């Protein structure tokens, strides 16, 4: 299992992430999937601090709003060069 983590600069600080940092974690089955998600995140202007991890990330709920995504919930992120 691989995890692609990123900070959403657009959503941080308001809405469900009011006063917090909005983090997205995309769960990937293979390194290849993780690289595709990472490249898609890089191609967008609103994502930063993009990383691939092999351990499930843990963030404080006091400072972060975390949303987990999968191929089923956000399929476009797993398509090469979608963004």
Q: What is the pLDDT of residues 18-74, one digit of tens each?
A: 999 999 999 999 999 999 999 999 999 899 999 999 999 999 999 999 999 999 999
User: What is the spatial distance between Cα 66 and Cα 21, in angstroms, rounded to a whole number?
Assistant: 8
Beta bridge partners of 69: 26
Q: Which tokens is 9 given?
A: 């600069």
Does an H or E element contain 40, and which? Answer: helix 31-43
- Looking up tokens 């959403």, which residue turns up? 8
34 three-class SS:
helix
Task: Please tell me the pTM assigned to this model.
Answer: 0.93
């Amino acid at each position: 299992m691989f995890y692609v983590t990123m900070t959403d600069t657009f959503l941080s600080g308001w809405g469900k992430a009011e006063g917090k940092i909005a983090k997205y974690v995309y769960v990937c089955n293979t390194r290849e999937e993780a690289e595709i998600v990472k490249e898609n995140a890089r191609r967008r202007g609103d994502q930063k601090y993009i990383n691939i991890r092999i351990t499930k990330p843990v963030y404080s709920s006091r400072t972060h709003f975390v949303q987990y995504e999968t191929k089923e919930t956000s399929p476009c992120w797993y398509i090469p060069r979608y963004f």
